[in-house]
Amino acid sequence: MLEYLLTHHRWIFVCFFLLPISAVYKVLFYIRNKVVFWLASAPKRHDSRVKHIQRQVRQWKSDGSRNFMCTARPGWLTMCIKVPRYKETCTNIKVDLYDVLNVDEARKVVRVEPLATMGQVTSLLNPLGWTLPVIPELDDLTVGGLIMGCGIETSSYKYGLFQNICVSFEVVLADGSVVTCSKDDNPDLFYAVPWSHGTLGFLVSAELQIVKTSQYVRIHYKPIQGSSSRQLVDAVQRGCENCENDFVECLVYSKSTGVIMTGQYTDGCEPDKVNTISRFWKPWFFLHVKRFLLEDREAIEYIPLRDYYHRHTKSIFWELQDIIPFGNNVMFRYLFGWLVPPPVSLLKLTQTNTTKRLYELHHVVQDILVPVNKMSDTLNMLDKQLQLYPIWICPFKLTSQPGLVHPLGDEDEMYVDIGLYGNPQVKPFIAKDCIRNIEQFARQVHGFQMLYGDTYMSREEFHEMFDHTCYNEMRKKLNCENAFPEIYDKVCKAARK
């Protein structure tokens, strides 16, 4: 009965159990973030906290280096949909580094510790008139996670991935020493750190670029009623070619229909076109956008900056519609909209073995990065494999730099992130087979899979997808083989539960 309810009526569990708990949870985390962090905040103590990490690493070494090291951060707090199993067998190193250390407006950089969140950083920068060039959607995403994993947003077509706005990294190595790296100082380590998932050392601070910002984002919605996916690709490419755009995004609602959204920073607005979309009674953003497609009309809106950052947060993109089918109902929004979304960390913390198995069998959460000239072929393939809509399209510039992820040639190349979230409608849906087919296609077109999702690749296939040349050199040079697991051993299915 529990399995039946969780499969077909998850809203009962969520509405009567999870949402009330999440209200308390949000209050506690608000106190933790605004009060406890504020009381414990001490940027001037950064050096002493780094020395504490060094002492732990040296203690691990003096104890005989019997197993690998990893951070002690609880697995349910991470954005990965699964809880990491490897933490159970590793030496857990406490990395209590949560602060924004300083803002250097002259150099246009902000220096932050790895567990500082997007919410913390933007709350500090925006009142000063600054922002990060790339702001991933969720406030709880940490700087360290976005560097060691991957971060992307609709400004990435201009700035690249989150790693491309990084100026320098400060890292504690396997021998307990501290090193700073940048494009000019220790460049091999600087380029090897992104996507490395903490397998080269412990990130203890990073310098990030900052840019001037504005009060609003002016959004132009343009529906695409095409006869094929090629017209969607053309619309995305045209949006990227217009250098006046600060943001480019597309929501795909079928193989040949979607809405392209282009945005620009602005301080002025037309008052009757301002849409504060974060209000809890407002419609979910992806359904608000779909309205322009159904009505086949273009439109202009002015969205406040913070609202734009979090336009998909309220409905967790469109994941919430599978959990609470009536969640966008106007009555539900007005009465209970302030309770949603339930935090991802709480969803993970309350998972049972049954829900984990059901999500693995019936649900997909994946991001596939492919060249923009392969976007049409990819959409056609995904329609056959999954029949899962909407699909999030986020173009980004993949820079020709050393590291695990780069184009085939020596020039920067335009790619797209294709976000797949929800319950596939293809029958029969066999999760492992479908994801392996998608992974194989990605390798064939020199694409990449974001590693927070389920990874079914073998170690050989994983090495085929990601260029380990620079990474392996640094692993050997820094004596990481006996100190940290390889990336594959932290992201493969066996390492997560």
Quote the CA–CA distance of 261 and 277 in Å, as a whole number. Answer: 15
The pLDDT of residue 378 = 97
> Which class would CATH give 216-314?
alpha beta
The pLDDT of residue 15 = 75
- Closest by Cα among 187, 193, 191, 147 to 173: 193
3-state secondary structure 197-263: CCCCCEEEEEEEECEECCCEEEEEEEEEECCCCHHHHHHHHHHHHCCCCCEEEEEEEECCEEEEEEE
Answer for the pair 424, 434: CB distance below 8 angstroms, yes or no.
Answer: yes
pLDDT along the chain (497 residues), means of 10: 62 75 77 64 86 96 93 79 81 92 95 91 91 89 94 96 98 97 97 97 98 96 91 95 95 95 96 94 96 96 94 90 88 90 76 74 91 96 95 97 94 97 91 94 97 91 96 96 94 76
At 58, the amino acid letter reads R
Tell me how many degrees the CA angle 229-437-87 measures, rounded to the nearest 5: 120
The pLDDT of residue 4 = 64
The pLDDT of residue 87 = 86
Q: Where are the domains of the chain?
A: 216-314
Helix (H, G, I), strand (E, B) or coil at 24: helix
The pLDDT of residue 228 = 85
Quote the CA–CA distance of 450 and 357 in Å, as a whole number. Answer: 21
The pTM is what?
A: 0.92
Beta bridge partners of 261: 221, 249
- Closest by Cα among 130, 98, 132, 134 to 115: 98
At 486, the amino acid letter reads E
The pLDDT of residue 75 = 76
Burial of 126 (0-12, 13-18, 19+ CB in 10 A): middle
List, in sequence order, every beta strand (DSSP E) within 247-406: 247-254, 257-266, 299-304, 364-371, 391-398
Max CA distance (Å), the chain: 68
The pLDDT of residue 10 = 66
Element (H, E) at 71: strand 69-71
Burial 241-258 (b: 16+ CB within 10 A, else e): eeeebbbbbbbbbbbbbb
